[in-house]
Amino acid sequence: MLQKNEDNERHRAFSRRGLLLGGAQSLLLAGLAGRMYYLQVVEADRYKTLAEDNRINLRLLPPPRGRILDRFGYPLASNRQNFRVVLVREQAGDVERVLDALSRLMVLGEHDYKRVLREASRKRGFVPVTVRENLTWDEVSRVEVNGPDLPGVSIEMGQIRDYPYAAGMSHVLGYVAPVAERDLTGDPLLELPGFRIGKNGIEQKYDLPLRGAAGNSQIEVNAYGRVIRELNREEGKPGDELVLTLDGGLQTFTHQRLLGEKSASAVVMDIENGDVLALASTPSYDPNAFNIGLTVKQWNNLINDPLKPLNNKATTGLYAPGSTFKMVVALAALKAGISPDHRAFCPGHMTLGRARFHCWKRPGHGWVDMIRGIQHSCDVFFYEISRKVGIDNIAAMARQFGLGEPVGIDLNGEKGGVIPTRDWKLANIGEPWQGGETLIASIGQGFVLTTPLQLAVMTARLASGKAVTPRLTRGVRAEGEGPEGGEPPVPDFATLDVPEAHLNIVREAMDAVSNHPRGTAYRARIQEEGWELAGKTGTSQVRRITMAERAAGVTKNEHLPWRRRDHALFVSFAPVHKPRYCCAVVVEHGGGGSKVAAPIARDLLIETQRRDPAGRPSMPILAVGLPTQQG
């Protein structure tokens, strides 16, 4: 009984405390329920967002780069399939064994072999590692056929820029190369591995329209970053297809023709609308090499080459124009009131103060007027008239012809050259102008510097009397003929402030240079009827001829080392009586303009007129402005 009572007492104590315990547990569970409510109702939106961020990755789809076409629609830069072998480590198992098997099917250098091993061990197991790019069809099929023996190996297809004209077009087109740190603009496309942007030439200038807009793919990834599936896909906009003014065939011809010389450049233009039909500079480089990536050795060879293959000499090479400048001086003289019949006597030199200025022809030309002065390129005649005209008037005329400042072509880095004036010399050299310097400038020597492109523009303006400016791009290719596609409008160039009569005198003189038996370029005339050219030779010294040399008689170019020989220049237009095309040629250290440069110009103008690009239908374009990028 006692024990029973005691047990009842224990039971009561138990019940009390048990209820307490149960109550406490219920409270704690209620707390859990509250926490559930907080997480799943109050904070649900925040966690839902976080969960989506976790699983969804946006992946950019690089747009295909727009092609670059010549005026007739032939591709100058396009995209080619690039097959590459990739290896996924976790599928391969033994990476070395698979690589050994691969190296029996294709060339696999020691360097690549080690790089793959390194990358494979560093990257996550499911990330593909590129083993080799640019496989040939043969290699692709060998890898595919041996698929079962190559676990984890697959062929991926990408796009790589292709320049079918290779070195023939590189200075105009430029090249594409992987994005460098300083190129980053915040456009996520640029951060895509393997993405390439234009680094030079048209590729650089019109990089934005050529690039297009990236598409994107929403993909679901798991916690390790492995792709599970694609949720959504938005295709990007391919880059614009750019139509240039170049004639691919003529460009190739020009490049080939210049290759006969060590270092030269040439520009062929349409006088009427400023279309640049060919623009070449040699030696050149293969832009395709930049795509794959140059080796340090290749790069060093390029930048250390004394012939500067990376430079576009047509737009950035500065040369004293030599006698090709004489037309400008003649026009300045006519404008200053000197009669076209003004005659001067050339004894082979002229003395000014204590200095003696030589004519290129030692015995002298005798009596010459303006037309003879140009035809025979008599230096003394121009010494004399320039003294009367003065350097500032000559400079003003030169500027009208596009000299002394960039003419504004669609290529970055164009040089402006120098047309000296009294003020210019004071500001830049800090010394007053000397009378003798006017004489030297009148034959295109001394301070005067021009680019081959400027000389072509000058010639176009001489032939047309209008302020022709060059253009390199016609526009964006139109899909069809239709109303939206068409020709770019013919630019309405302003008329130069030079009387037509004056121009005719100069044109007549240039005609005589080439077509008069005693003209300096008669041997480089065009004999086909109706295609005759008018031109002017130029030979510009790159050094002073010392008195000692004159005395010793070592004045022949062929006897000098190449570096010290004269530059050979020739400017010309054709047909002589109805000018349509103009051409400027500069051969570095080529010697005499008539002997070296004029024959090249003749061949270029014959080929130009044979092809007659202006007379053939060209690729229709859209009339839209193109955003450009300064470089």
Partner 1 sequence: MPADIFLSNRNPEITLRQKIWQLNWGLVILLCLIAGVGFAMLYSAANGSMSPWASRQLMRFGIGLFIMFVVALIDVRFWFRHAYLIYLGSLALLVAVEVMGTIGMGAQRWIDLGFIRLQPSEVMKVSLILALARYFHGVSMEDIGRPTYLMLPLALVMAPAALVLKQPDLGTSGMLLLAASAVFLCAGVRWWKFALVFVAGLAAVPIGWQFLHDYQKARVMTFLNPENDPLGAGYHAMQAMIAFGSGGVTGKGFMQGTQSHLNFLPEKQTDFIFTMLAEEFGLMGSLGLLALYFLLLVYGFAIAFRARNQFARLLAIGLTTNLFLYVFINMAMVMGVFPVVGVPLPLVSYGGTALLTLMTAMGLVISCYIHRDIRISRRGTAEV
Binding site for partner 1 (CB under 8 A): 3, 6-7, 9-11, 13-15, 17-18, 20-22, 25-26, 28-29, 32-33, 35-37, 39-41, 43-44, 46-48, 50-52, 54-55, 220-224, 228
The residues pairing with 58 across neighbouring beta strands, listed in sequence order, are 218
Strands 485-486 and 473-477: what pairing? Answer: unpaired
Q: How far apart are CA 268 and CA 604, in angstroms?
A: 8
Nearest to 457 by CA among 539, 401, 419, 503: 401
Pick between residue 20 and residue 307 the one whose CB is nearest to partner 1: 20
In 491-522, which positions are buried (b, 16+ CB within 10 angstroms) versus exposed (e)? Answer: eebeebebeeebbebbbbbbbbbbbbeebbbb
Residue pair 155/265 in contact (Cβ under 8 Å)? The answer is no
Number of other CB atoms surrounding residue 227 within 10 Å: 13
In whole angstroms, the minimum distance from the beta carbon of 193 to partner 1 comes to 23
User: In the annotation, is 323 catalytic?
Assistant: yes
The residues pairing with 264 across neighbouring beta strands, listed in sequence order, are 282, 587
In whole angstroms, the minimum distance from the beta carbon of 93 to partner 1 comes to 22
Which residues, 6 or more positions from 9, have their beta carbon under 8 angstroms from its beta carbon? none
Pick between residue 13 and residue 624 the one whose CB is nearest to partner 1: 13
Burial (CB < 10 A; 0-12, 13-18, 19+), residue 239, is buried
Helices and strands: H and E segment counts in the chain:
23, 22
In whole angstroms, the minimum distance from the beta carbon of 38 to partner 1 comes to 9
Which residues, 6 or more positions from 352, have their beta carbon under 8 angstroms from its beta carbon? 383, 387, 435, 436, 439
Nearest to 280 by CA among 294, 299, 263: 263
Pick between residue 26 and residue 295 the one whose CB is nearest to partner 1: 26
In whole angstroms, the minimum distance from the beta carbon of 222 to partner 1 comes to 4
The residues pairing with 197 across neighbouring beta strands, listed in sequence order, are 177
Nearest to 279 by CA among 237, 251, 310, 257: 251
Residue pair 204/176 in contact (Cβ under 8 Å)? The answer is no
Which residues, 6 or more positions from 469, have their beta carbon under 8 angstroms from its beta carbon? 274, 402, 407, 408, 457, 491, 493
Cis peptide before 283 (omega within 30 of 0): yes
Pick between residue 5 and residue 630 the one whose CB is nearest to partner 1: 5
Pick between residue 32 and residue 107 the one whose CB is nearest to partner 1: 32
In whole angstroms, the minimum distance from the beta carbon of 5 to partner 1 comes to 11
Q: Fill in the DSSP letter of residue 293.
A: -
Q: Which of 78, 265, 284, 323 is catalytic?
A: 323
Pick between residue 7 and residue 612 the one whose CB is nearest to partner 1: 7
In whole angstroms, the minimum distance from the beta carbon of 57 to partner 1 comes to 11
In whole angstroms, the minimum distance from the beta carbon of 42 to partner 1 comes to 9
The residues pairing with 68 across neighbouring beta strands, listed in sequence order, are 77, 242
Q: How far apart are CA 599 and CA 595, in angstroms?
A: 7
In whole angstroms, the minimum distance from the beta carbon of 15 to partner 1 comes to 6
What is the separation of C-alpha 414 from the centre of its chain, rounded to a whole number of angstroms?
10
In whole angstroms, the minimum distance from the beta carbon of 208 to partner 1 comes to 37
Residue pair 534/515 in contact (Cβ under 8 Å)? The answer is yes
Pick between residue 19 and residue 624 the one whose CB is nearest to partner 1: 19
Which residues, 6 or more positions from 341, have their beta carbon under 8 angstroms from its beta carbon? 369, 370
Number of other CB atoms surrounding residue 489 within 10 Å: 8
Pick between residue 10 and residue 356 the one whose CB is nearest to partner 1: 10
In whole angstroms, the minimum distance from the beta carbon of 16 to partner 1 comes to 9
**Dihedrals φ, ψ of 583, to 5°?**
-150, 135
Pick between residue 29 and residue 145 the one whose CB is nearest to partner 1: 29
Pick between residue 37 and residue 367 the one whose CB is nearest to partner 1: 37
**Which positions are catalytic?**
323
